[in-house]
Structure 1
Amino acid sequence: MQTTLLGLAIAAIMALVAALAAPLFVDWNKYKPQFEVEASRVVGAPVRVEGALDARLLPAPILRMHKLSVGAPKDPTKLTAGKLDVEFSLGSLLRGEWRATQLSLTGLALDIGLDKDGRIIAPAKGEFNFGELAIDRLDLAGRVTLHDAASGAAHVLDGLDFRGDVRSLGGNLRGEGSFLLRDAKQPFRLALSKAGDNEATRLRLDLDSAAAGSVASSFDGTLAFENRVPRFAGALALGAADEMPWRITARTTLDPSGAAFTQGQLLSGTEATGLKLAGEGALAFKPAKLRVALSAPQLDLDRALAENKTLHGKTPAALLAGAMAVLPTLPWLSQIDVAVDRANVAGHALNGLSVRIEGRDDAWTVGKLALGGPGDSRLTLSGKVTRGSDGERFAGPVSLDASDARAFTEWAFGKSELARALRGNLRLKAAIAFSAHELVLDEMKLDLFGTQLEGRVAQKAKEIDLTLRSPFVDGDKLANLVRESMAWREKAGRALRAQLDFTKAKILGHDIAPLQAELATVADGGPSKRQAFDLKLRRAVVAPWLAPDTAINDVSGRLVVTDDAFALEKFSGKLGAEVVAGNLSLSREGERSLSGNIDVGTLDIRTLVAAMLGADARTATEPLAQGWFGWRGSLAVKADKALLPGGAEVTAVSGALRGDGASLALDDGKASIGGGALSLSGVAQRGAADTAIEASFKLDKADAAALKYRELALPPGQASLRMTLATHGRSATALRNALSGNGVLTLTDAHLPRLAAATFDMVNQASEQPMKNEDLKEAVALALDQAPLAAATADVSFAIKDGRLHADPAAFRTEAAQATISGGYDIPEEQGDLRIAFKATSSALKDAPEIQIFLHGTPQGLTRDVDVAALSSWLSLRAIERETQRLDALEKEGRPQPPKLQPQPQLQQQIQPQPQVQPLPPRDAVAAPAEMSLPPGEVKLPPLDPRRRKAAAPPTTAAPASPPPVTLSPDARVTPLPPPIDIKPAPGALRTPRAPRSSATF
């Protein structure tokens, strides 16, 4: 060996001298046969260099070969390389040592394996002593194929990349690298060293975790070759660091026939608090199968997860789904049995927990999972766990029988309103499939509180598919379940496809028989992210949400689901007897908002407003419900007509309802009533203590008679209105009682009914023939009813405060008469009170007092009261004045004066309130003739003129003499006295005040 090394050193020196002398003229390819012969002798297998060969001595000896192969072409094991670069240490060569500064082998393809007897077969069988070889840096890149001649199997470690070193004096090898395992890079570390004086080699191989959740393994022991049969004995460790880390350790013996595991331990979690199971197992290679048996008398899962922030507090259902993700992937058939006498899970003790799982490649099968849980429940589950690109998926039959559905549901899925509402038994049989992205219950038979359901439930990605059948569904019992399910669906933003076929259903106390509806996906040529469905709803009663006995029938449309919204496009159907159509869009991202447009035949404004404010299902004094508050979006509404409270109708209705979560607003509201244009806007704000509403109205040139409330209506003519309203309160009653605002009503060409201007002509005629008060009142009332008062225009200003409307006096004037109207309306009490002062404006009667007309009552009708007291007094005084004037005329003409009669007590009582009447003079002041002849039928009032009386003589001490008797001729006629003056108090002065009304205070 020394001679050979010395010769090689001398040859190297000579080659160095030759290279220095004429390096450009050295053709190293001439020496390829010599290199191949020498290399074949050293390696012990044919060596062939098909590519170029190059070498140099300075500055360091380098040998480079291209397309190198070791082994015969038909050998089962061989080595090929695209390029081999070796850089030697010149100093070590001169000292007789084989030391390579760097050895790089790229494009490596190494085939190695076991023969039928389990012995190692390799391409190199030479006598080269690798113990005398040292490599400072070893780089390998390529692939290694492991062959098993007994089974004919081959395992390829592709993408091999190794960097390490080989030390002399024992041939120690160490380094690290990676290879591809199932298309994933698998790092590893390798260390080989002499175990002692024997032929055994100390081996440590660590397969590191390339990513979180991947399995890491470690082999630490001795590797010996007995008759070229490898045998390993040492410790095996497997583990993964994930949300729920686990580790398996065992004493292992490994040879070509299989492996045996003793003193095994499985740890899930941390060392101090994790779950520990003991067991043993065996792995056979022919055929490949792993059997493991694990057991524990007691496991405390709650304690194990207490320190895990990710898993602590999760429900058993979530833990079961997560457990599938941590099952290691094994390349052979596996069977694992687990038996636990008692396990604490989610605060409850499980009895008789037993699990058998079987795995092959990337699939696991749950042979059986059985446990006894809370609520006297028994759960059995079996099926297959498979892995795909989207994670793990389990599928198989499930059976659940629980006497206390509430206890089991709270344990399995966590406490909730749904769980608290579950009372009674629960039985379920179905073929279940679930993963992180789906949940399917197929061939389902569910008995829930006496309600039997059959069909299929599937939640996949962003879609829920329901097919449910039942002879009877009590929705009231399942209300919490439905509500929680809908909340979960909305929160997750999932689309829904459902087929419902209920022979009879009860929802919120209403019977629906039958209820049939379906949603079907269709392709409408939209973008790929657009999902479209055909919606068909044959019949559904929606009385709890709209009005009693209101049903939705024959609704069809296009339901479109996108990343941003759910849209119901071009839908049409019937809401009760009314046809509805439009488009709706419900956003899916961020804050939920519903927008679109609706066209309807007839709108009931009272019902719509009550539903919006949350007053539709409550008494007037109860606090308002949620109503539409919380809704966001904008909804354009059109209607052929709308019914107003009180019976009035508007047509051509349009507007936009808008919600921002805390308020509801009507923008650009328009309608037509009585041929006039109505515009309105308003906003309702929901606060912490109450609801505040503000609204404004504008009406131009409408037929006044169309503005009515029940039996009340404005008089014929043309009406324009400006009005603002505001209120606040917690209930409908409080909103009504706190109503305030103001406005102006303009009436043009108004015809005020039962206010005939000719009434004063009748009064003028009646002054010639005095009547009693009652007769005059009746005559005036009849005259008023003969015709309306036609006024050109008038403005009625009004104000509303605390639910009471007060109208300022408004004058309606014509050439003949004027009506001044004032009054008010008590909205909470529904009581109206109007006062009309009717006065003549013509020259003949312009000084006459007003006729007072009072209207009071309810919207069903007003009662009229005509007050003619002032008019009657005026007429009496006017008659007196007219008669006085007549007497003055007679005196001037020289006619005899009528006898001065003593006024009758009745007349004196009638005229006593008049200030101009003086006391009568003594009888002896004016001598009355014994007989007097009166003109025929002319005088109708008392004969004395109070203004003409002379002053009385001063009284004397003597008693006055008795007046002489007045003697009238038989033909004399005495004018009768006028009727007594009935003086009434001023209107409203003595009216009994109304008792204060009671109202709720919030």
Structure 2
Amino acid sequence: MLGRILVFLGGLLAVVLFSALLIPYFVDWTDFRRDFEDQASRILGKKVVVHGRVEARLLPFPSVTLHDVRAGTDADGSPLIQVARFSMDAELAPFLSGEARIFDMRIEEPKAKIRLLKDGTLDWMRGSRAEIPARTVVLESVQIEGGQIEFIDEQSGRNRVVTGLNADMSANSLAGPWKAEGRAAVDGHPGSFSLSSSEPDYANGRMGLRIRVVPDEHPVEVDLDGAIAATAGKPAYSGSFAFSFREDQKQKQQAGQSLFSSPRTRGSFELTNESVRIPSYRMELGGNENPYVVTGEATLDTGAKPEFLLTADGQQIDVNRFAPPVVQTGKTSRQPTASVRQRIEAFAAMVARIPVPPVPGKASISLPALVSDDTTIRDIRLDVRPDGSGWQVVNAVATLPGRTQLEAKGSLTLLDGPAFNGNLLVASNQPSGLANWLSGSVDPAIRQLNAAGFSADVSLTTLNQRFDNLELAIGDASLKGKLERRSDGKASNLSIDLAGNEIDLDALKALGSLALGDQVGSSVLDHRIDAKFKADRFNMAGVTANHVETAFTMAGGVLSLEKMTAGDIAGAEVKAKGQLQGSLLKYAGKGTVNLHATDMQPFFAMLQQKLPGHPFLSRLAASSPWYANSDLAMDVSVNSENGGANVAVSGTVNGSRLSAVAKMPDFLSITDDTAMSLEGVLKNQSTAILFGQAGLDPLPFDADGEGLLSVKLNGTLGSPVQTDIRFSTERTHFSMIGSFAVAAANFGEGSADLALESADIEPYLIMNAVGLPQLGGGMALKANGKMAVDAQKIAFSALGGQAGGNPFSGSLAFQRAAPHSVTGDLALRTVDLAWLGDAIYGPVIDPETGTLNAKPLAMPAFPQLKASLSLKAESFEAGPFGTVTGLSTKITHDDGNLALDDIAGTFMGGKLTGRLAMSTGEGAGIFRTKIAVNDANPESILWANANGPVATGRVAIDLTAESTGKSVGEILKSAGGSGEVRASGLVLKGLNPGAFPPILQAAEGLQQPIDAPKVRPLVDQSLWQGEIPLGNVALPFTLNGGALHFQNLRAGIDPVTLTGEATVDIAASTVNGDLDLIFNPGTEVVAGAEPSLRLNYNGPLAAPALTTDVSALGNYLSLRAFEKERRRVEAMQASVLEKQRLRRETALYRSQAAERQAEKERVEAEAKAKAEEEARLKAAADERLRQEKEQQERLQQQQQQQQQQQQQQQPVPERQSTPALTVPPTEDAIRQLAPENAPANP
């Protein structure tokens, strides 16, 4: 509605302004008023009439003044808006850009009439829509003086009048936003106001509007911030509001203000003509730091039937803030806790003081909390209606301490004593908190509950309480039934009949005490009780029984258990009946208990949990699987005047026949001097079951036949009791006789004599998971000793006996605390290295193949053992390495690692020292050792020939080795290390250092070719007799791949030098080596060959096979023979050439003689002689050439044959020598003897 008024004024302004601008162009001034009215009516949508004069000018600035302007017409003919005088001044320059800027506007005595029709619409909303250039007009200052607005409400008949309206306004445009500040009076109540608006949202028909109203009559301020809209012609204004009281400076500085001073309210509102609706509000009272807050809603129906509804949800109220200070009357400031009865009586007295209205109605109260002293009641909601002399509780809800929900419906009577009849529900999510509030203390049974509550049809008075259709929830339990307590002021009877899924007797008793108004545990047992319970689960003293049905009465100090059946008490079926009467000083009773259980583990665990802690109970619970299928009968009798308590037990336990009797004269006053006795016998065909029932943890593996276990204890609880424990079968007998403590603090401590004899102890070791290496062959055992047990250790002393024929003695101590380390000393006849290897690596020898095990390593035999022992042994078997006698060492074992330190003993007649370690980890084994042997005789590990051991002397050995592998075979094959053998006085037997000369002499008669078959007999005749004294020799070696490698060995004496190398395979105990004997040839040196023999030893280390390689010696002899033949051929060639020379000389001489003879006959026979000479010379030359050629061919054939023989035997450097002519040429001599040169005959 306010928007319409503002639009009208703005539209009127726009029309006047633009008309003033156009005045100079109008020639007919008489039409100006009419044109102005027409334009204004069209733009505003209402009929506009100017009844007064019009004044306008352009210079020095545009200015227009209108008198008596009226717009619209009401139903009675009066104008809707009437302005006595309207004037404004504008700036000229902005008009050039199409904008109208009004810097001063004055509206005097405006009057507006707003009528709300019966249908709820405004008459202003009817008619044509205004069309104004709202965004081109800027209002810098608008002054309204003497304004009046009349609001006529035809729906309710009530009118409102705003008078004395004076305001200063401004707007950036006619569309807004608008700002205004001023004063006015509403129905004669003056005040100031301010408002601001946003631009209209024509699409949604809304306009933001913020209003601040400050009335003069009340020191309050009201701020409205929302949007005004018209839906279907009906105006509505909604948004948020703030309401606060104004304070002067003195009030702001005043301290200790009242809680109800300076209320501050905020919320939302919806304002229509039909109602004023506040959907939500928040009122804050008091200081800003800790105000009291009230929230709610309010509605004022202003229709034909006015009705007011107000709901208030208050914040927590601390009553102590309004109460006077408490005067302390005692020595302390502690206030006594009020009982349930006192609280109920105080509440009833308070309610009784509230007058009951005589007319019908409804009262509703909602508070988040009410705090008073130790009580905090939360979420209070109470809906009640008056009902005669009391109240009809329609709904009562509250959250009591302990997160307890209380709901009640019914009739509350206040006259003649308070009484309540109706339905009551109490549900607590923290029963301990509720109990502490009600009684000032918390029963332990209630403290364990996470929830508790009940619902019932109740009839409650001060003397009698009856709960019908009772549904009781205690924790997870849900019970149904009834409960009634009746009292005549002297005696009380309590009747209980409950059935459900679970009953907790301790919690039920404690909650019953709360419900009955008694202090916890004070008087429930003072009632005569008649109880029947039936539940799927029954809890009593922390013990849970399933499928329980019981009936009992208690009166006059007599508890009579008519029957009690429990289908499952910790897994056991129990039936009992009996009677107990008297007091703690004088009592008597008897009863029977039958127990049957398939699995005793839950039952023993329950005993361990509920009875005082004792190691026996812990061991019993741990051994519970051996007590399966128990069927026991117990006869119990108690009498303070005759024997105290006696229990006789008989039955079967996991096949064991049990018979036991226990006596305790004074079981109600147990002290250290309390006497006790126990005798028990167990028989079973299975020895494993007997061991398990005795507290051990055996494997399901039987050792012998039927066994008998007996126990006898006799003494007092505070001192060690005489103990006799025996176990026997046909083949095994054990006894332990001594004294041991039975008190929990030192249970089991004492001493005893032990004796054990068994034809075969291995089954018992296997049964008790003692996996000694190399089990399976049976082992007889006979041992005795003494045992002493204290808090730290179990000590065995004076041990003696034999195991498997191996005598032993010593002492051992086992620590009782983890890791249960073992210390002591042992002396044995024999210790086997392979047995120790089995303990770490698993089987060292594969039983299937008899060789080193190639399978993956097994787990150590004693993975958890931590031991440190001093060990002595007459002999220590080291497998292929021999035997060490007189061994002493310190052996340690920890986490699967075994070490022998400070090893000392005798090996091969010498002194052995060192250490050895074996370990496993992550599937791999590790072996380390460092051994030193001094002054040892190696003959025991060397093989022998026809002359005795192959070598004699004394040796010292140093060895350092390490190996890893995933199997025993791999550990040995991957062994690596190094060492040295130092021999002194070393003599090699069976070898002749002077064998070369006889061999050389015998080889003179050999014919080519000279090969091994011809040479070997010569060697065998001369080599194998004698010895080679080598003296001191150092033989270094390396260990690699599980074998000892001797390389580049060299030693010798003058006639012969020895070189060699050898490999000793430790795993296979084999040797493969070569020994080269290189003889000194002296003057018989042959280039390219040397006289040597190779002896090859291959095979088992104890007796390797010997092969002799004589090829090098054969090559030497063959090459030597070849050299001799070559020299013979060269001599023969020289002789042949000499003969040829002489032959040529003879021929020459004869030719010369013939020539001289022919000279004489030359004349006669010159031609014939010449021809004959030429023929002769030619023949002689041919003959000479033929002979030389034949000789060359013969020599070449001999050389080729010798080369072929040498290649077949052993190639030797060929040294060719061409036959040389030893006779100098005789050409000159021959030429001198020629016939033509012969001297003339005298």
- Structure having the higher helix fraction is 2
TM-score if structure 1 supplies the norm length?
0.50
